[in-house]
Structure 1
Amino acid sequence: MSTSITDYRQAIDHLPEGTTLVVHDVSWEDYERLLEELADRPAVRVTYDQGRLEIMSPRPEHEKYKCFIERIIIALADHLDLNVEPVGSATWRKKQEARGAEADTSYYIANADRIIGKRDIDLSIDPPPDMLVEIDATNESLSKFGIYSTLRVPEIWRYDVRHNQVHMYELRGNKYAEIPVSRCFPILTPKALADFVEQSKTKGQKAAMAAFRSWLEKRHKRGRVR
């Protein structure tokens, strides 16, 4: 392990929750070694953009909202009989582009069958995830969209914690455009998802999930989104 990696690890071990460490002029080799070193710290999010290294330590509430949205996605997939393969906060990277990032959670949907049984996913030969979810306390994930565009991720959901707003985006060309309804789950709008996240805060996740399933059944039968 190089001295620089040791220094990075020591800094990360003392990184307060909710803060971000940024380091410039980091080599791709050091980035990959750092990912190996942080295998025991799965909550830490590491982003690499052509020499710029960003390390974020999420707050506990960050994980709480992520877990609730994961439950929503699995309930949606079950209800709509869609094959979904969750891959969590996997690291998505391309050496030839010198870019890599970790979303809060990721899913294969249209391409689920292509990655079932794979222990390691290599974006040089495998498809990117069909959808990513980012939980934002300070809009920090917006700076990662250029990386996700390079990786050709089709859809991103971003939950803005401070304003309780959900934004959904699809890849158009080389940029992301905000959309009024999910392409992966066309029954769900950003506002509907934000409403249920808010319910999870005030009534708890169990009650919010029960309300979501009831809503889902009614909207699916009517063929409506709202």
Structure 2
Amino acid sequence: MSWAEYQQLVANRGNHSTPRFKYANGYLTLKMPTFEHGQLDAIIADLIVAILNQQLRDYVRTTPVTLQIPEQAGIEPDHCFWLSNWAAVSGKSRIDLATDPPPDIAVEVDVANFTNVADYKLFRVPEVWLIRGNTLSIYVQTPGEYNQTESSQFFPDIAIPKLYQQVTAAVAEGASPPRAIRSII
């Protein structure tokens, strides 16, 4: 598929969030989020927001957002968070990675093995958080690749993967996601 054809699909979809598109090297992949996907996405996003609010930190959060590098690639993370550069994107209606900073964290919930962390390399996203079931893996960009790490550079003193597992375990035992997050944080 050509870049122009991809752009036409994105335009035809309008303001709808589905299907989600991933375009790279002339290939288009589609993702249709499921209820499970939406639940896990909401849990991690709410957990991040709870921590940021507890720390009284400023941020910009989006879902969904289409990140593009013209003629090369397009990707649609489930959530993006701008922490270090929140002021640079606050109030904007569109993000242009040629002039705007990439998000600090891109969150992907993967219930169908759709996500390849390496797809984010071109976009210069410092961290990609990948959720598969009750497991959260954090990948940090280093020169040329992403490496899995135990902690986030944006939350160095918090064991985010462990907190995520605690929340999902509480939800599995019958707690509502907000109650589970409040009990953990």
- Report the TM range for the smaller structure's normalisation: over 0.9
CA deviation profile, 1:125-147 (whole Å, cap 9, x unmatched): 111111011111133212xx233
Q: Which amino acid aligns with 1:154?
A: P
Q: Secondary structure at the match of 1:198?
A: helix
1:77 matched residue in structure 2: 52
Asked if the contact 1:83/1:112 (under 8 Å) is kept, the reply is yes
Q: With CA pairs under 8 Å and 6+ residues apart, which has the higher RCO, 1 or 2?
A: 2
Asked if the contact 1:100/1:147 (under 8 Å) is kept, the reply is no
Q: Secondary structure at the match of 1:141?
A: coil
Structure 2: give runs of 5+ residues left out of the alignment.
none
Whose helix proportion is higher, 1 or 2?
1
2:13 counterpart of 1:42? no
Distance change >3 Å, CA 103–CA 55, structure 1 → 2: same
Asked if the contact 2:6/2:23 (under 8 Å) is kept, the reply is yes
Correspondence for 2:94 among 120, 125, 132: 120
2:123 matched residue in structure 1: 151
C-alpha separation in 1, matches of 2:89 and 2:16: 25
Once the two structures are TM-superposed, the CA of residue 40 in structure 1 deviates from its matched residue by: 4.4
Correspondence for 1:188 among 141, 147, 159: 159
2:182 counterpart of 1:207? no
C-alpha separation in 2, matches of 1:168 and 1:55: 24
Q: Secondary structure at the match of 1:83?
A: coil
Q: Based on CA coordinates, which of the two structures has the bigger radius of gyration?
A: 1
Q: Which amino acid aligns with 1:165?
A: T
Q: Which amino acid aligns with 2:149?
A: I
2:145 matched residue in structure 1: 175
Correspondence for 2:62 among 57, 64, 87: 87
C-alpha separation in 2, matches of 1:68 and 1:189: 12
C-alpha separation in 1, matches of 2:83 and 2:165: 22
**How many correspondences in the alignment?**
183
Q: Secondary structure at the match of 1:46?
A: strand
2:109 counterpart of 1:129? no
Q: Which amino acid aligns with 2:150?
A: P
1:6 matched residue in structure 2: none
Correspondence for 1:140 among 87, 90, 114: 114
Moved over 6 A (4+): none
C-alpha separation in 2, matches of 1:28 and 1:86: 27
RMSD: 1.4
Asked if the contact 2:167/2:177 (under 8 Å) is kept, the reply is no
Once the two structures are TM-superposed, the CA of residue 170 in structure 1 deviates from its matched residue by: 0.4
Asked if the contact 2:163/2:184 (under 8 Å) is kept, the reply is no
TM-score by length of 2: 0.93
CA deviation profile, 1:175-197 (whole Å, cap 9, x unmatched): 11011111112223312222212
Once the two structures are TM-superposed, the CA of residue 110 in structure 1 deviates from its matched residue by: 0.4
1:198 matched residue in structure 2: 169
Identity %, equivalent residues: 27
Correspondence for 1:68 among 8, 22, 43: 43
